[in-house]
Amino acid sequence: MKILAIALQKEGKILSASYEVLEAAKSLGGELHTAVLGEAAEELAAEVAKRGGGKVLAVANPALKQFQDEIYAKVISALHDKYTFDLILAPATTYGKALMSRLAGANGGRMASDVTGLKAEGDSVEITRPTYGGNVLASVHPNGGPFFVSVRPKIFNESTEGDGEVVTESVDASAFEGRAVVKDVKVEAAATQNLAEADVIVSAGRGIKGPENVNVVQELAEAVGGAFGASRAIVDAGWVEYKHQVGQTGRTVNPKLYIACGISGAIQHLVGMQTSKTIVAINKDKDAPIFNIASYGIVGDLFEVVPALTKKFKEELSK
């Protein structure tokens, strides 16, 4: 099986989710290639090669500095025409999802998005992905190629080492022409860290009782220098924006510390955070499912426990 992993970059830096895709690709065996596109692609490709990228195909051009799915799709399609890959993988980020759908359409292939599991089966692969709002996990068995897959972030560990060599590739100049022109890039300001990158996440659930109490958990997140997360229940209720949702239909996270405040532990939520290194659960129901996977559990009223923790962390940080 000939595999292409796409290592996406942003502002001249390889995204961490791209190294997770690389680890997923390596787990399948086969002949591994990695595509690196950018204004200075050779430098980025050298980093990817050191982390086990196999044959790293570097394509450099000023038009690749900022992500444009139309141009990126044409360049990768040109690489596919040359090498004829059976399986093409990319991270299921905003960039990756836009890119993979274009690639599948342009190359007459099939696609599985937001994949949470990959397993080699001889010359083929078994793919697991959520469907029906995350209530069902479907097993997909592609028959023939090319097959395009976007891999959900924080499912696989990052590839940290392995063999690799950089191969500088050139494609026809027409591939770098797009109908859209990037004039400016603006980064959304955020009071807390991005969930996908955070080492510490503090999440709120239905136990906060209403939107007026969201700040109780947010203050703890700020006190510990972490990101604020939320369960699907309070996102669906309109108490918190979707971008904070942790779970099967939200963000899959893998922080060093996850603090669940007033979250009972529905399977949809657990699937999205159960690989966290340390899990602290705060819930007044001693039989809540969240305690089954928690490293530490506090049975108590979150309106007493959470403010007390916030006060303690603030005192310690002020010393």
**For helices 302-318 and 214-223, angle between their N-to-C axes, nearest 10 degrees:** 30
**For helices 94-106 and 69-83, angle between their N-to-C axes, nearest 10 degrees:** 50
193 within domain boundaries: no
192 within domain boundaries: no
CATH code for the domain of 40:
3.40.50.620
Cβ atoms 227, 221 nearer than 8 A: yes
206 within domain boundaries: yes
pLDDT for 188 equals: 56
Query: Does one domain contain both 168 and 219?
Result: no
Query: Does one domain contain both 153 and 229?
Result: no
186 within domain boundaries: no
81 within domain boundaries: yes
Report the domain count for the chain.
2
What are the tens digits of pLDDT across the range 209-218? 999 999 999 9
140 within domain boundaries: yes
Placement of tokens 């051009």 in the chain: 61
- Predicted model pTM: 0.75
- Residues 260 and 242: their CA atoms lie apart, in Å, by 17
- Residues 191 and 85: their CA atoms lie apart, in Å, by 42
- Residue 108's alpha-carbon distances to 62, 80, 111, 144, 234, in angstroms, are 28, 12, 10, 12, 40
Instruction: List, for the chain, all residue ranges whose pLDDT scores fall below the cut of 50.
Output: 190-192
Query: Does one domain contain both 11 and 98?
Result: yes
pLDDT for 133 equals: 65
Query: Does one domain contain both 126 and 245?
Result: no
Q: What are phi and psi of 175, to 5 degrees?
A: -65, -25
Domain carrying residue 269 = 200-318
pLDDT for 193 equals: 61
Query: Does one domain contain both 263 and 208?
Result: yes
What are the tens digits of pLDDT across the range 96-155? 999 999 999 999 989 999 898 999 887 788 999 888 766 678 898 887 779 999 998 888
pLDDT for 58 equals: 97
Query: Does one domain contain both 89 and 134?
Result: yes
Q: How far from chain centre, in Å, is Cα 51?
A: 18
Helix or strand holding residue 168 (H, E): strand 162-168
pLDDT for 94 equals: 87
pLDDT for 189 equals: 52
Query: Among the three residues 141, 176, 211, which one is the final residue of a domain in this structure?
Result: 176
Query: Does one domain contain both 165 and 20?
Result: yes
Cβ atoms 276, 257 nearer than 8 A: yes
82 within domain boundaries: yes
Query: Does one domain contain both 86 and 213?
Result: no
Query: Does one domain contain both 28 and 145?
Result: yes
89 within domain boundaries: yes
CATH code for the domain of 276:
3.40.50.1220
